[in-house]
Amino acid sequence: MKPQRIVSKRLLALGAAVLFGFSFSAVNATEPCEDFGECKVLIEINSTDGDIGFHFLMDGDDLIRAAVFNPDHKQIFKYRTRRELRHQFLTETFAESAEPLCFDPTTDDDPDNDDEDFVTLAEFLDRWSEGTYHFFGIGEGWEFSWGHTELMFDLPAAPTALAYEEEEEDGDVEGEISWVPGDDLGECSGGLNQLVADGVLPDPAGVPVAAWEVVFEPDVEDGDIVGSFKYVVRIPGDAEELEVEVPDDYLETLPDDTKVKIEVGAIGFGDNATFTEIFDICVNETEEDLCLEDDDDEEE
């Protein structure tokens, strides 16, 4: 074994011992966490498609190795840079788990979902643990970084009644997205009432919303540059009016009769997020329902 590898393993062991020798107090996930500029763990739900996933982020300085540990101090993720990346280093790392359906697809009307993986909400929550997740890193000069953040099961309710309206004023087209707070998790609400009754989850309708995130995304063919022209904005969770204007100078960049998908997400104070989507919105419409037709219909 090479001397460097011996030193590396000893340093990793020492770092882990130091990490777990401290007793950490809870901090908000979006604040700097000890030696990391940012770290967070969160649950994200798509209430429309009915899928659920685990996300995490760490942001450090010139890292060559890093790892994430669950509340039981078991490693759930690690990386080690090699070759070119070993000399360039890493800073921010963001990862998303697979996002299986949160309902049995064989009970759905869509046969395309029948072969999809699924996990019930109860099974997902049993798989993950509330509590403190620890982040550990090694930098360019073998200096150690560590931090921690909390994963909570406070899942905000899915926004509902999403709507989009366009008006033309003085030759400019103005778009407005609106929504109202919901009271459940949409397609991921199976077993929700029992989980709330058992104290596993707080009632989503009562979970405070820190921010609303709105995503306005053109629905175009792969490779079309217009597909990257997303409009994304956040407003405070306690905003008096739950609506967002889409700038006219942005809308002007989109071709006529462009299909658009709109997402509105409720972001909790623990960073958990529940999104709702609407599809087949038509912007810069030149002929009624033209961009809502299926491709097969257009060819005919």
Together in a domain, 117 and 167: no
- Looking at per-residue pLDDT, the higher value among 297 and 44 belongs to 44
Residues 9 and 102 in one domain: yes
Number of structural domains (the chain) is: 2
Residue 222 has pLDDT above 90, yes or no: no
Contact, 142 vs 149, CB < 8 A?
Answer: no
Domain final position from 107, 123, 151 = 151
Shared domain for 59 and 24, answered yes or no, is yes
Q: Domain residues for 27?
A: 3-151
- Confidence band (pLDDT; 50, 70, 90) for 110? low
3-state DSSP percent of the chain in helix, strand and coil, to 5: 20, 40, 35
- pTM of the predicted model as reported, rounded to 2 decimal places: 0.83
Q: Do 137 and 58 contact (CB within 8 A), yes or no?
A: yes
Dihedral sign, CA of 98, 104, 106, 109?
Answer: negative
| 11-65 pLDDT, tens digit each | 333 343 333 333 333 333 445 688 898 999 999 999 999 999 999 999 998 999 9
| pLDDT score, position 9 | 38
Residue 114 or residue 235, greater confidence: 235
Looking at the structure, tell me whether residues 24 and 76 fall in a common domain.
Answer: yes
Question: Are 216 and 292 members of one domain?
Answer: yes
Res 299 pLDDT > 90: no
Q: How far is CA 200 from the centre of its chain?
A: 22
Q: Which one, of 156, 160, 161, lies nearest residue 208 by Cα?
A: 156
Residues 121 and 186 in one domain: no
pLDDT of residue 24: 32
What average pLDDT does the structure give for the chain?
A: 84
CA distance linking residue 37 with residue 274, whole number of Å: 25
Q: Bigger pLDDT: 211 or 29?
A: 211
Average pLDDT for 122-138: 96
- pLDDT at position 5 over 50: no
Which residue's entry shows tokens 């329902």?
Answer: 289
CATH number of domain containing 200: 2.60.40.10
Same-domain check for residues 171 and 37: no
